[in-house]
Chain A
Amino acid sequence: MQTSTKALSGAVADIDDLHHEKLLKAIFNLSLWNFGPDVIDALLELIVSLAASNGKHVDSCLDMLVSNFTPPNKVLDMLKQPRGLEKKERVLPRVHAALKNISELVPMAASRLSSIVLEQMPWKSKRNVDQWSMKRQLIYVENMFKLESGAIREFVGANMLKDVMNVLRDLDVAIGWDDILHDDSSKGVFMIELEDENYADGDEDADADGKLPSTLSEKSLSKNLTAELLDSLMVQTFEHLESSVSNKRLSEVFDTLLSSFKDTVLNTYKSKFTQFVMFYACALDPEHCGTEFASELIDMFVGGHNPLTSRMSAVAYLASFLARGKFLPPAFVASYLGRLVDWCWQYCVMHDGDMNPKLHQVFYSGCQAMMYILCFRMRLMVEIPLLKSQLFCMPIDKIFKHKLDPLKVCLPSIVEEFLKQAKAARLFTSSKTFVFEDLLVSNLSRDFGGLERLDMFFPFDPCLLKNADRSFIRPNYVYWKYVRTTYHEDIDDDDEEDGSDGEVEGAAEFDDDMEEVIISRSYGDNDLEMDEFDYAMNKMSITPRNNSSAGLRMPSRIRPSMSPESL
């Protein structure tokens, strides 16, 4: 095999694509995974020579190399075993080296490679995921990341990243809300962040009594192969981001991710988890990536030329990001909050009209974003004198007392929580009395939210993908449960956990079952039992049980949009 292949390499100029069609087909159908290193080298030399000798062979050569990103099924099965790993190390680096060689000899080949990689993707949207397609997709995406960071990244890197983001989004959208939420319309819209107590006992037949679980559940998702694939791909993506940090390429990667996010994820309201790629990238480099992300979102919101729904979506992302990003310092949050408040106030000055949810959608979404951020961050900000004075100088009360009356229009649950905290902090007290009756939505908020229900869009709600959340998101994430509000009295020092570095702590009352769980310990600590943490989280209720002022639930999980199916 080796000898004949080398002989063919010497005669590539004489190989005719018509007369030697069968020979070429036989060569291009070979799987490198079936051969030893010497034969692989000889075959790849032939492929490179073919591509360089005749432009007509370039596409077929690239096709052949890309098809070798995934091994045959028998090798796929043992990829995690030493034998499989050894084969992988034998084949894939050589394949990528051959792609590099072809790009050097035929510069225009690189522009063809991106589309060929996309065409050969194992999983396409609107297809079911099975175990085989999952394994193939995982190794395929691993190769895409290799291309993104490899020698020819200049030509194909950006496209690889965008294609991966598209795959994540497609998988995300394919996970229907029905898969993870059995909605009981009699219950209200917002549910607690995680499982309800019926599942805490691990009772698989919790619905045996006829009551369907009415909450979002990691357990529900774990039975879903699409979710499992998405989870694994998200982990791969996060690991790739981490390696970009080591290679000092994160800012370059982030630029592409941001562009892809604006094009494909921002306006995909069914996207539940894909956006956490941006979240994690910002967590890895808050100073640059975090700033760039927040700036892009605020610019998109204030940019009057942008479509209405994009602006509303951008401000929802901004609010959720500033609220949930544990890695964002209070001063950072204050600065973007200030820009948001300024815009809202300018809007009030320019519009002297009365309340009209449909006409002033963008304004109400801005106000709701302000309140949402303050619900999470007000306490932190008032504890720092400089930020407190900045906060108190913002024209917040003027905005909320304006004729446009945002307090009446915005989501009642957010308004209620905001008013309570603002009163406790002496930031703002409403002269009107709002009776929400524990409502989470109102007709007015529905009006300003529009068809896409952007009034209930909180894109960085807790991530339910187990592995992605546990190892990557959780250490960087603010859970509502652990937010100290302005009306909570601090508990005794002995009971308080050590919260260093400005981390948000849970000062709220704990359930009895959680007392032994240490929450704010570093997640890198080996002593931390993740299962214990999960168990505790599973039993967690967003409403502190022993809190007499309980009854206020932050809208931490939104109901799926009732609008017609849209991407």
Chain B
Amino acid sequence: MADADPFDSALDLLRRLNPKHTSDHLNALITLAPDLAEDLLSSVDQPLTVKRCKQSGRDYLLCDYNRDGDSYRSPWSNQFDPPLDEGGAGGVGAGGSEGAGEGAIPGERVRKMEIKANEAFDIYRELYYEGGVSSVYFWNLDDGFAGVVLLKKSAPQGGSSQGVWDSIHVFEASERGRTTTYRLTSTVILSLSSSNNTLGEMDLSGNMTRQIEQELPVETDESHIANIGRLVEDMELKMRNLLQEVYFGKAKDVVGDLRTIGSLSEGQRDRETHRGIIGSMASR
């Protein structure tokens, strides 16, 4: 048997260990295999951090795509905090275009789209999340541009249950004349927990990732925002349904497979019927 690639093994491990502590496992893996650090940090999604923009007073989200060293760029002001040294700024150099993660500042046209996208997803956030924080970051590519749409919402503190939702939608837009191909990779990190005397502690946490590719007509730069908006909106609807199915359907069913509330001898016939239904659903 061929030796497994250490990077693939690290990803496999992260897919198995408790997703509530992915950041800790990631740090442990980097200590173990420092040469995997860069690849792991750019491919493993972690819960988003919120920061307040000093210029606009508005909150924005931090990720690898608006980071330059220890500084992060606010989508509202386009300024880095803490400010970058003069001449140390990243951005679109003469030849460089794929500068994400190195403090890439989008070119003028792409920044204009980025501003519009932030306005649009701010409305999207209010309509779907009724709170929370959103941020959109764009950067230039050789044949188009790319970006990330981030959304975060935490359940109000104080109740007996807690919840945090993080959406991370990374896309590449390859422009070809009147059409553009969008490749979207979406991850939702959802942590839920509940604790009280009768229930004890219950933690239901994890992440799910889905990808989609679509070629869509583009007339103006405004159509890019609309196309990306629809793609993200459809994807989030799909993923919300999927999360609902896995968190509250599948996980609950497995508990019922481990222990049955009803008596097994009495429920034999019922269970076989049930298995038949599950079987026919799985084979659809």
A-B interaction: no
